[in-house]
Amino acid sequence: MSGIFPANRQRFQGISYLDIGQGQVLVLGHAFLWDSGMWAHQLERLSQHFRCIVPDFWGHGESEPAPAASATLAGYAQAVCGLLDHLEIETVGLIGHSMGGGWAIELGVQVPARVRALVLMDSFAGLEPEVANLRYQAMLREAGDNLSFSSAMIDTWTSLQFGHDAENLHPELVASFRRRLESCQGEQVTALAQAGRMWFGRRDSFEDAEMFALPCLLMVGAEDRIRTVLESNLMHDGMTGSQLQVIPRAGHLCPLEQPEIVTEGLLNFCQKVMA
């Protein structure tokens, strides 16, 4: 999926990114185990109104692995900030899905004057719940040790990604995700596992998010089992002036499961706050 809009793909210090459209700038961050291609549907519309910068996270898509074992989401945010400097972009709206929301918050903490608006989609500013974190870290260790994702692990990740009836509603989407994990081998798995440890082992940035003085939209799939509606409600309660939109019949991948609803919600919000 990272091959979308190939003429618009560029590289900066090991990070592959899309640069498409003109106007006020939106930066979109994708989920763990995906890449910039997950935004294909949204970019078709958003790029008609905005300049969209869409990087692949370290170890995902066409980006290189993280530069060090100690790399963090904050480090990636700093790298994106360097990319914005390179492109001579002063201010942006941030749209972060899941892991992309994690580094979007860190970017907002590092350079608050450059962030005009924030969308956190199926994401969470707080710590990963301990039981879930232990489970995810064990899965990542297993994948890293074996340099592949086992059939059982692929089943688990797939069940977590989508809404309850995805096998019937989006069979090709589910099948393509399975193929994505089945095709991962060797160093690619090592890089993905490292990225996963950054996301699930992230710091608690909830209080930082509460201090943001900017327009914020929270979007979450009604059937999300990785980042629950409860978590988005907690952020909504803590972030003054934030908006909350629950996406029906969608799990963790609402931009893919309900692309029209998500695209319309993003477009309406961004046109209002980025004008």
pLDDT band at 104 (very low <50, low <70, confident <90, very high): very high
Minimal CA–CA distance to 115: which of 93, 82, 96, 86? Answer: 93
- The residues spanned by each domain of the chain are 6-128+202-273
Q: What is the mean pLDDT of residues 96-102?
A: 98
Q: State how far the alpha carbon of 152 is from the alpha carbons of 12, 22, 194, in Å.
A: 36, 44, 20
Q: What is the pLDDT of residue 7?
A: 76
pLDDT band at 6 (very low <50, low <70, confident <90, very high): confident
Q: What is the mean pLDDT of residues 218-235?
A: 98
DSSP state of 10: E
Distance CA 31, CA 180 (A): 14
At 216, list the tokens. Answer: 């914020």
Q: Is 1 a residue whose pLDDT tops 60?
A: no
**Neighbour-count burial for 236-259, b at 16+ CB within 10 Å, e otherwise:** beebeebebbbbebbbbbbbbbbb
Q: Tell me which of 7 and 44 has the higher pLDDT.
A: 44
Q: What is the pLDDT of residue 206?
A: 97
Superfamily of domain 6-128+202-273: Alpha/Beta hydrolase fold, catalytic domain (3.40.50.1820)
Q: Is 149 a residue whose pLDDT tops 60?
A: yes
Distance CA 217, CA 8 (A): 27
Longest CA span, the chain:
49
Q: What is the pLDDT of residue 20?
A: 97
- Residue owning tokens 């003109």: 22
pLDDT band at 16 (very low <50, low <70, confident <90, very high): very high
Q: What is the pLDDT of residue 220?
A: 98
Q: What is the pLDDT of residue 2?
A: 61
Determine the angle formed by the axes of helices 130-146 and 151-161, rounding to 10 degrees: 140
Strands 15-20 and 51-55: antiparallel
Distance CA 67, CA 254 (A): 30
Q: What is the mean pLDDT of residues 176-202?
A: 97
